[in-house]
Amino acid sequence: MKNAEHKEDCVLKTIVLAGGLGSWVNDDLVRIPKSMVEVVGRPIIVRIMDIYSHFGYQDFIVATGYKSLLIKQFFANYNLIANDITVVLDSGQMTLRPASPGGWSVSVVDTGPDQLPSGRIQRLKEWLDGETFMVTYGDGLGNVDIDALLTFHRSHGKLATMTAVRPHAQVGCVDIRGDRVHTFSDTVQNSETWINGGFFVFEPDVLDYLTDDAMPLEKGPLPQMARDGNLMAYRHFGFWHPMDTLRDRNKLCKLAAGDVPPWLNFDNTEQSPTATSGIGGKPHIVSV
């Protein structure tokens, strides 16, 4: 693993998994890629990118599937969408006036309409240049301290780090011994329950675990990495919220209406001192 300075870290690539199908249909929301569902005028994928960009990580690879062309068109026209413009009507000459700092590099890669996340990540191997990379889902927001996450990842020397968050509902669990993910379980074992919140950091050798396109990331590769002692949990105590339902989307819209949405409020991450302390501490239950 490279012992890189933060300046070098800022070139780390971040994969955003955006191949999922939006499943809600009403008068305001048609069937579109889930990552393109708007949260107060901006697709959730852009709001996820805002989190990484806050820490200087602006090199993104969007792994698309369902309606990939729609996502490609969005980013192809993003400079027009995101900026103010001045148009000389007689000639049609247009000048962009940046409304906010830019600098993002976004590669949109069609990884197939039916692939699960494991297959999508594997198909991006040639884009990763054999370097450490980050991965996140395209449907969840959290004020995760990306710098602290990477510091923790370097501290343990394992292949993978998964951000663990407090659940909104009790589901199957993972037993953490110290900071190492030890075993998986289908039931909640006690009140100290955590779930997989995404925001991963992976070493290139993680790709060796992603051999079965039909196996969900949480059912095959992650449990196998846990059994091999290669999956560690970074505990995030701050804000995190998925967008699994229309109700979730409406809640995120209300939260986005404030001056600083909670997923960009990094003064209130509520991190535990053990979150970046390396291996140690009492067992916890983390679900995926």
Smallest Cα–Cα separation from 23: which of 70, 66, 69, 73? 66
pTM, to two decimals: 0.81
Q: CA end-to-end span of the chain, whole Å?
A: 26
List, for residues 110-160, the tens digit of each pLDDT value.
998 888 899 999 999 999 999 999 999 999 999 999 999 999 999 999 999
Give Cα 61 distance to the centre of its chain: 11
The whole-number average pLDDT for the span 52-72 is 93
Is residue 134 within 8 Å of residue 147, measured between CB atoms?
no
More confident call, 275 vs 256: 256
d(CA 109, CA 103): 19
Using 50, 70 and 90 to split pLDDT, how confident is the model at 257? Answer: confident
d(CA 209, CA 87): 52
Q: Which fold has domain 6-266+279-287?
A: Spore Coat Polysaccharide Biosynthesis Protein SpsA; Chain A (3.90.550)
The DSSP call for residue 169 is S
Smallest Cα–Cα separation from 124: which of 19, 262, 234? 19
Every domain of the chain and the residues it spans: 6-266+279-287
- Of 8-22, 68-82, 136-150, the poorest mean pLDDT is in 8-22
Note the helical H segments in 157-231.
221-227
Give me the residue label for tokens 């070139």: 11
The whole-number average pLDDT for the span 266-283 is 46
* DSSP, residue by residue, 256-277: HTSSS-GGG-TT-----GGGGS
Using 50, 70 and 90 to split pLDDT, how confident is the model at 187? Answer: low
pLDDT of residue 30: 56
List, for residues 204-230, the tens digit of each pLDDT value.
999 999 988 888 888 899 999 999 999
